[in-house]
Amino acid sequence: MKVNLCTDEELGAILEKREGETTSDYVQRLNTRPDPDLPEDSLYFSGDRLYTLIWEPLEAILSGIDTILYSPVGQLNKIAFQALQYRWEDPLLNHHVLIQRRFLPEPMPAPQTFSSITVAGGIHYSPGTQPDEEQLAENRSDSWLPLGGTVTELNFIRQLSSKKGIAFRALDGDDATEEDFRDALTQQPEILHLGTHGFFLPNTPSDSLSPGAPGYAFKVSSNPLQRSGLLLTGGNDSWQNGTTGDNDGILTASEISNMNLLNTKLVVLSACETGLGDIQGDEGVYGLQRAFAMAGAGQLIMSLWKVPDQYTAELMQLFYSALFEGNTPLHSLRMAQQTLAKKTGPYNWAAFVLVQ
């Protein structure tokens, strides 16, 4: 059955950021319906229009269906479907189990147990320096400052893994170089958790930047897999001086795509904007999402926008607590998001999506 939803232009008009709009305000605008008692709300919030365009036409068809599989194309890749507002302050998360797939149709993954995990966190982006507490980054990918929450994640997962008899390896501090990362992959961990900064850069004309500008080699690349990546040990120094190489501390999506992750059942990107990339029509998103799929990884958890470090760490603790009790990655993430949704807005919980 074919259902016409909206044009790309109609959707783009809502999804386009307004002048001076912060990411937090942007997410709130898209995922908030106007208060029925406050008519002026309709002049700002876009939650009702977004829902009307892309979900309301499907309501009659999906009535009574609990689990929904979907594969977004084009600008639909920018939307956190679980945060769409069914009614005022009532997201779809409360009504459906939403499963994002790379392609449709695909067989559903079988229930899995996990025997090994490699966790990256507490990484020194500039080895030899120890910033004061106030220099810790609040948002992942906001700057290349240390992420205190990733230390919390790493220690929590280490303790939980020990209790459950799951083999654990840490990539932390000065011991999270690209060489360390490649060595860890030779052990073929079933879960790969990367708590670090992530980035996606729009294509920038080379004549608009000086060759010595931070990140120059990445920003001017025509290859979207070179403009997306993760920061490892030493990455800050390489970013600032523009050096690139096999062990520069900047793990690009291009490098990841050539790795062997066929035995890795789950990759968790506990970094921000890891779901972004160049959108190329029906071919999907060219960035980290595509890179891990090309490397052969199974399921992938990624984020659509910058999330405060504190809430990311809390969500990850809730996620692994559920996962290591035998729940699937999908239901573990859903339970974690439902818990956070009871006390904070979608900006702090809806960014993370699972792709199968």
Residue 133: which pLDDT band, with cuts at 50, 70 and 90? very low
Return the half-sphere exposure (C-beta side, CA atoms, 13 A cut-off) of residue 196: 29
Residue 277: which pLDDT band, with cuts at 50, 70 and 90? very low
Q: Other CB atoms closer than 10 Å to residue 49's CB: what's the count?
A: 18
Q: Rounded CA gap, 46 and 28, in Å?
A: 9
For the cut 70, the answer to whether the pLDDT of residue 106 exceeds it is: no
User: For residue range 34-72, what is the model confidence (pLDDT) as tens digits?
Assistant: 776 666 656 667 788 888 888 888 888 888 888 888 888
pLDDT of residue 27: 85
The DSSP letter of residue 233 is T
Interval 72-88 mean pLDDT? 81
**Based on C-alpha coordinates, what's the Rg of the chain?**
20
pLDDT of residue 278: 38
Q: Specify the amino acid at residue 222.
A: S
Q: Rounded CA gap, 200 and 225, in Å?
A: 9
Percent over 90 (pLDDT), the chain: 38
For the cut 60, the answer to whether the pLDDT of residue 197 exceeds it is: yes
pTM as predicted: 0.77
Q: Are 92 and 346 in contact (CB under 8 A)?
A: no
For the cut 50, the answer to whether the pLDDT of residue 165 exceeds it is: yes
Higher per-residue confidence, 90 vs 89: 90
The DSSP letter of residue 34 is P
The CA distances from residue 59 to 68, 182, 283, 331, in Å, are: 12, 46, 27, 23
pLDDT of residue 25: 87
Q: Select the highest-mean-pLDDT range: 54-68, 170-184, 302-316.
A: 170-184
Interval 217-241 mean pLDDT? 84
Buried-exposed string 193-225: b where 16+ CB fall within 10 A, e elsewhere: bbbbbbbbbeebeeeeeeeeeebbbbbbbeebb
The DSSP letter of residue 33 is P
Degrees to nearest 5, angle at CA 249 with 152 and 142: 55
The DSSP letter of residue 335 is H
Question: Which domains are assigned to the chain?
Answer: 8-100 (no CATH), 116-328 (3.40.50)
